[in-house]
Each structure stands twice: as C-alpha cells, then as structure tokens.
Amino acid sequence: FLAGCGNDGGEASSGGKGDGQATIGFSQLGAESQWRTANTKSVQDAAKNNDKITLKFSDAQQKQENQISAIRNFIQQGVDVIAVAPVVETGWETVLTEAKDANIPVILVDRQITGKNVDDLYTSWIGADMKEEGVKAATWLEDYLKEQGKDQEEINIAHLQGTTGSSAQVGRTEGLEEGVKANKNWKIIEQQSGNFTRAEGKEVMEAFLKSSGDKINVLVSENDDMTMGAIQAIEEVGKVPGEDIIIVSFDGTNDALQQIKDGKINAVVECNPLSGEDIMETALKIKSGEDVEKEIFVEEGIFDEKNVEENMPRPY
C-alpha cells in the first residue's frame, strides 16, 4: 500500500494508532516561575500516570521562535496532539496552520492567542480567565482600602507587569486598569514588565523606588515570583512591605501565602497551574473523536489574611 495516499474512507489513517493511545507533544513556554514549574510537573505527572499517553516535552525558555520550531518538530514526528502554552498572544497563525494542514489537533494551555481566524487553529483551550483575575485584584483593593478608611485618599499604584504581550499580562493589566478607571483617586504611577521572574521583579521594583519612592502606596505585581523580588527591593530601602506599601500579587504559591502570614503580602489572586489531568483527558477525547469544550476554565479564588491559614500548605 501507499501510506498517506488516497484516503478512501478507510480508518486509522494516522499510522494505525486507533488503539486509544495518544502521543502528545507539549511546547512549554519556559521555566520562569514557580507557577510554571508546577504546571510542567503537573503535565509530566499526569502523562506518567496515564498508560495511554506518551509525552514529548520541550521547554522554549520564554522564546516564541523556540516554540515555533518545537511545534514544527512535533508535526514532523507525527504526534497525535500538540499542546502549547503560548508565550505571547500574537504570531501563531503560520505554524498552527501547518499543524492544521497536517491534521494534528492543537490544545492551548494556560495562555491564549489572538489574530485573524485563530479560533479555527485550535480545538480547545485550558486555562484561567486572566482579565477576571485582574478585576479580582482591583475589587479586593477597593474593599481593603475601605476597611482601612483609606478609600478617599490618593492611591498611587506601582504596577509590575508580566511578559509583555502574554495573555496573562494583557488580561491582568486590563482588569486592573478598569479598576483604576472606576476609582478616581487611584493612579498608576509606575508600570513596567518584570517578565514574570524574581530577578527582574527585584530590578524593576528598585527602579520604581528610585523614581517614585515615597509616593508608592500600592504594588500590584502580576506574579508571585516578581513579588518576592520586589519585597526584597522594598526591604532594602528600609520600607515595610505590606504596611508602607500594600501588595497584591497573583498565582498563590506556598511561598507567597507564607508571606501573607508574615504580613508582607496583603492579597494573592489564585491562578491554578495544575491542569495536567485536564490536558490528558482532553487530548484522549480529541484523539478518539469525541467533542470537547472550546474553553475549559480552571477555578480559582483569592487569598488574604482572613483565609490564609485554611489554605496552607499549597500544592505548589
């Protein structure tokens, strides 16, 4: 027979793998944060624990070009499903069209993509509503300021952003900025990306403190790793994190919740990285031709001093 030639309706055209097994190629965007390494571990563990799954894993070190070549590799190897956690929102049309042309379904993990007709280029997305997370942060801050009798004061916010152009950054920023618009006495006086890493979070916070020092009342930091770095920077200039500067963070790592207990972080909006099982289940369903949801949302809450005890220890 001639492989791949003249598909006349016979089944199992993809190498006879109609046996409930699936090979998944996963392009992880990097290892920039504790959230990310927990996500990677969740995917790897879920694959290991599932005898129907073979996982091929690739770490792109926060570079889109590495993700694009990883996806091309997976296409060449003829995997059954490609999973990708896209580092930024734009620029995926070409490579995902290549996957589509090769009849390989794509699952987006964690972050989302934008662009012309991109909805046709993936089967399912599994992640969190990042905009909603930003809204939660702003709402928490409103309530907290009210409780503290500070809701009429001028509030100057320093905003540490995640990787520029990632859906996590875009969504969280949108949510926060809506809150700023709704509160006439709030102002974002510093705003810069710390790329979701602890080291850059510290560096950028140092710069914020240098230029706006005593004016900063609130730090909103788009992930816990940057927050940890920022706390260090704040302490190094002799200020008290959590008191001199109210701190709101994202993710909900065990380390961050410990900082809530210690009074250095005031609130953390949860973002759950443990999507491994959902990804495997979705991949197997897609492989066997079952319908899957276009969007699968991971549930999440918010942590502060009122509920931190009952939520520790965290699984990541």
Q: Residues interacting with ligand GYE, by CB under 6 A? A: 32-33, 35-36, 110-111, 168, 196, 223, 225, 250-251, 271
Closest-CA residue to 233 (of 179, 192, 187): 192
List 162's β-bridge partners, or say none.
none
Shortest Å, Cβ 310 to ligand GYE? 22
Shortest Å, Cβ 25 to ligand GYE? 20
Q: In this structure, are residues 183 and 142 in contact, taking their beta carbons and an 8 Å threshold?
A: yes
Cβ closest to ligand GYE, residue 32 vs residue 278: 32
CA 109 to each of CA 82, 119, 126, 289: distance values in angstroms, whole numbers, following the listed order: 10, 14, 5, 20
Closest-CA residue to 267 (of 208, 227, 209, 216): 227
Shortest Å, Cβ 222 to ligand GYE? 7
Shortest Å, Cβ 181 to ligand GYE? 23
Structure tokens that stand for 262 in this block: 């210690």
Closest-CA residue to 177 (of 223, 135, 231, 226): 135
Shortest Å, Cβ 169 to ligand GYE? 8
Cβ closest to ligand GYE, residue 196 vs residue 303: 196
Peptide bond preceding 313: is omega within 30 degrees of 0, i.e. cis? Answer: yes
Cβ closest to ligand GYE, residue 37 vs residue 69: 37
Cβ closest to ligand GYE, residue 97 vs residue 311: 311
* Pairing verdict, β 218-221 and 267-270: unpaired
Q: In this structure, are residues 287 and 261 in contact, taking their beta carbons and an 8 Å threshold?
A: no
Cβ closest to ligand GYE, residue 134 vs residue 284: 134
- H or E stretch at 277: helix 276-287
Shortest Å, Cβ 101 to ligand GYE? 28
Cβ closest to ligand GYE, residue 63 vs residue 181: 63
